[in-house]
Structure 1
């Protein structure tokens, strides 16, 4: 048996028949710590020990202590998370750790997590009934903890990032239509908290932002108010902190109806809130204390029932505001500023939803534009042009012996007219240049005669034929009847 060289550690056979290898390697603090590896054969154990020593020589220190997944998750949520995460996020992470990650992985050594082993754990959990969204959340929290462990040189790589989960299509949010939102606000007028629901619906504010609004945030002189903090109840305790993102701090105009509603509300709750609400939050409960989320949910549910509208989440009022603003052609950049999103992609991809009424209107416009209309007999009221008519439209004007168009009355708001070469039409035809090209896109357009030397013009430099031609004051002589036209 070949003896290992100096600095290569030692390997020996244990009483239980397994092989054990050991070596002293440096930790992140520079201290030496004995590392042990195990295997069924001497070669397997030697290979494992060689890899550990090679990592140390490449500058990858070994952990100061041997962590289990359970112990490191406790350290992460208690010591690391409070320095970087918001209280609501920490609360959500804690729930995932206690209910899912610890039962799944708690006793395993942190350094022995592998992609294959972790993938098998997640696959088994999903097969046993864990939902895909829950698995995605568990992977997210574990990945955050393992990323921290990498930075502390406890592990070499984050194996959670390499776990593949089944595809999941999140449930599509269906915000209210303008009619539903209006019915909701009408029903809310009888509530003391009417201004709160006005703000949530019109501005699309986050629930915590609206509850965190203070009277000092309202600038009555300039008809504006600022959003600078949010108020949340987490595990029974009230937390007041900064808004979710830097762009969340914003100043918004105070709309007339909102100002009037706030004035009336202030007169009602001023004395009540001054005694039990030293922070002067705008929205308070009956006892004068800051309004709780459970009280808000209860009032919201009652209003939805009275209004006869679909029950949605309070947060979906934010989606409703974004979608309605989009439908009213407000630029995405302005919607982003109103909602306080850090990235405009969030506004475009998440918070703006298709509206069935808007889609119906858009498709109806396209239908009318391309197909015009269909008569009662099932045929199109748009006259189908013959080959001769198509040739007349595409040919230069000097090659046309006759040009005849039939134009829908309701489309151009003109009476049906027929143009042909006739002494009465001479003044009209003279207004068209001989070498003029034509474009047909539902209507005929001609090039502006004031720009004769430009070969290529952009679309808006072409002018409709109906604007070029002057109305006829006298009827044509020998004008054909519609029956005589091969259209």
Structure 2
């Protein structure tokens, strides 16, 4: 009589076609029990696979409720995860990538059959078809987000999209406007209907934040501008939605030039019964694409270097950096979630800033050498003359470095603090001078103390015991 397997061990039997089949009950990701069937060429193969399935079951690793194709799971992910939890623009972007690139190419592959080589071939094919590296990065990002969700739902063991190798994405070079270009732009748009909007761009507002601004967001009494929503085009619709991140919700000061420009716009161009500040002549929301085209047209007409509206945010960050505004304040003005974004993406250097930095460095390094040369020419002697004690004199260059170090220690500054403080410091004592000064002061105090001690000792000798105790 054949041995009967215990409950939970599963069963193994040979099919009529000669193949072997195994079956075992395991829990699914929804908490229900499901009978899983395994197929193989030999009994030993099925026995091994049943043992592995049983081990995962005992470890609490569930199986999928059904066999997902990647395309079907992507549809589920879009409808159940992205659409209710992300902004409309984010959903539109993910849906486009799924529809155009993911489902047609790898949508028919079972979710549990995905592999790193398969993913790598898919990415390589996209690059071979001529898609840019930045675009392929976005496609991989969307695929990875969906597989991360599948991993959380315990449908797959790991996110294979993260293991794919891609060429390094080359960031697009951004060249912000200079102070002169900003001044010229503001001068030529003074008579434009949307002058107030163009002026407010230099708050570092995003295009959608500017076009989504409401009159109720402008608090004249407290001189505040409240950034609370944004306007976006999604497909063929123009929608009002939440801000990009929680840090995008911010309050900015209402500066006098902006307040005056808004007041003039309110009197001359405001359309009644609309809550948005900036609208079309008919009172409708301004299409972000049309706003960008109008901005570029102004630049081209007036001979200005054409940039995107978003590049003005880079311009604001860079100009604030040149004004030595702390990075934390710039981050809050721009509404970035992380300060590293402000520092690495939005702040740029230019020829003037590089020139100033290198001039400051040359001042530190070369000034002592020039001083050494001048002194040598005056004395007619080299700077490394042996003194009477047989020790080598400190070179002028080293003395200059120590001089600056002593200046910093003493609370002053040498090209590291404000210029006013630097110019106020007309002399820089050397370390030797400082040590001599301290020693002289100490000797004077010591002499004073000795004179006092002698006087007290003499007075004590002339007094009785009670007076001694009082004096002590």
TM-score range, shorter chain: 0.7 to 0.9
2:336 maps to 341
Contact 1:227 1:251 in 2 (8 A): yes
Match of 2:118 in 1: 117
- In the alignment, what sits opposite 2:326? 331
Runs of 5+ unmatched residues, structure 2 = 415-424, 431-472
- Change over 3 Å in CA distance of 1:29–1:444 after alignment to 2: closer
Taking structure 2 as the reference length, the TM-score comes to: 0.77
Structure showing the higher helix proportion among its residues: 2
SS of alignment partner, residue 232 of structure 2: strand
Structure 1's 446 and 260: CA in aligned 2 closer, same or farther, altered over 3 A? closer
Change beyond 3 A, Cα 1:462–1:129 = closer
SS in 2 for 1:383: helix
The number of residues matched between the two structures is: 415
In structure 2, the partner of 1:458 is 409
Asked whether the 8 Å contact 2:372–2:383 carries over to 1, the reply is: no
Q: Deviations over 1:302-346 (max 9, x none)?
A: 111023222222111111110111011111111111111122222
- Give the CA deviation at 1:68: 0.8
Q: Does 1:227 align with 2:227?
A: yes
Counterpart in the other structure of 1:300: 295
Once the two structures are TM-superposed, the CA of residue 231 in structure 1 deviates from its matched residue by 1.4
2:264 is the alignment partner of 1:264: yes
The Cα of 1:158 is off from its aligned counterpart by 1.8
Q: Which moved more, 1:379-388 or 1:136-145?
A: 379-388
User: Following TM superposition, by how much is the alpha carbon of 1:192 offset from its aligned partner in structure 2, in angstroms?
Assistant: 0.6
C-alpha distance in 1, partners of 2:355/2:4?
79
Q: Take 1:204 and 1:465, find their aligned partners in 2: how far apart are those partners?
A: 41
Query: Judging changes above 3 Å, is the alpha-carbon distance between structure 1 residues 54 and 287 closer, same or farther for their aligned structure 2 residues?
Result: same
Give the direction of change, closer, same or farther, for the CA distance of 1:447–1:17 in structure 2 (3 Å limit).
Answer: closer
Shift of 1:458: 1.9
Q: TM-score, normalised by structure 1?
A: 0.75
Any residues of structure 2 matched to 1:6-405 within 5 Å, and which? 6=6, 7-11=8-12, 19-39=20-40, 41-200=42-201, 202-270=202-270, 273-275=271-273, 277=274, 280-371=275-366, 383=374, 385=376, 388=381, 390-391=383-384
Q: C-alpha offsets along residues 379-404 of structure 1, whole Å, 9 cap, x if unaligned?
A: 99963737945247x979x999xxxx
Question: What is the alpha-carbon distance in structure 2 between the residues aligned to residue 445 and residue 349 of structure 1?
Answer: 32
Contact persistence 2:29–2:63 (CA under 8 A): yes
Tell me if structure 1 keeps the 8 A contact 2:296–2:308. no
For the structure 1 residues 49 and 443, does the alpha-carbon distance in structure 2 shift closer, same or farther, using more than 3 Å as the test?
closer
Q: CA deviation at 1:199?
A: 0.9
1:202-257 alpha-carbon deviations (Å, 9 max, x no partner): 21111111111111111112222111111112112222222222221111111122
Determine the C-alpha separation between the residues in 1 that align with 2:406 and 2:140. Answer: 63
Deviations 1:364-383 (A, max 9, x none): 3433554469xxxxx99963
TM-superposed CA distance for 1:45, in Å, is 4.4
Separation in 2 of the partners of 1:465 and 1:221? 47
Aligned counterparts of 1:21 and 1:204: Cα–Cα separation in 2:
64
| Equivalent position SS for 2:269 | helix
In structure 2, how many angstroms separate the alpha carbons of the residues matched to 1:41 and 1:314? 67
Offset, 1:178: 1.6
Provide, for residues 439-484 of structure 1, a one-character-per-residue CA deviation record: whole Å limited to 9, x for no partner.
6227967979xxxxxxxx9254699784679xxxxxxxxxxxxxxx
User: What per-residue deviation string (whole Å, max 9, x for no partner) do you get for residues 151-196 of structure 1?
Assistant: 2222222222222222222222221222222222222223111111
Which residue is equivalent to 1:483?
A: none
CA drift at 1:291:
1.1
More deviation, 103-112/43-52 = 43-52
Distance in 2 between residues matched to 1:399 and 1:462, nearest whole Å: 34
Between the aligned partners of 1:283 and 1:327, the Cα distance in structure 2 is 31
Farther-moved stretch of structure 1 (439-448 vs 83-92): 439-448
1:413 match? none
C-alpha change, 1:144 and 1:176, in structure 2 (3 Å) is same
**What's the secondary structure of 1:23's corresponding residue?**
strand
SS in 1 for 2:252: strand
1:283–1:291 CA contact under 8 A, matched in 2 = yes
Give the direction of change, closer, same or farther, for the CA distance of 1:170–1:3 in structure 2 (3 Å limit): farther
Distance of 2:138 and 2:84 partners within structure 1: 21
CA gap 1:466/1:22 in 2 versus in 1, 3 angstroms: same
Unmatched tracts of structure 1, length 5 or more: 374-378, 406-437, 449-456, 470-487
DSSP 3-state at the match of 2:35: strand
Contact 1:28 1:153 in 2 (8 A): yes
CA distance in 1, matches of 2:144, 2:261: 47
Post-superposition CA distance 1:14-43 (Å, at most 9, x none):
677765443332213333223233445554
RMSD of aligned alpha carbons: 3.6
What is the 5 A alignment of 1:448-487?
Answer: 458=409, 460=411, 466=427
CA distance in structure 2 between the aligned counterparts of 1:152 and 1:445, rounded to whole angstroms:
62
Distance (Å, rounded) in 2 between the aligned partners of 1:168 and 1:190: 42
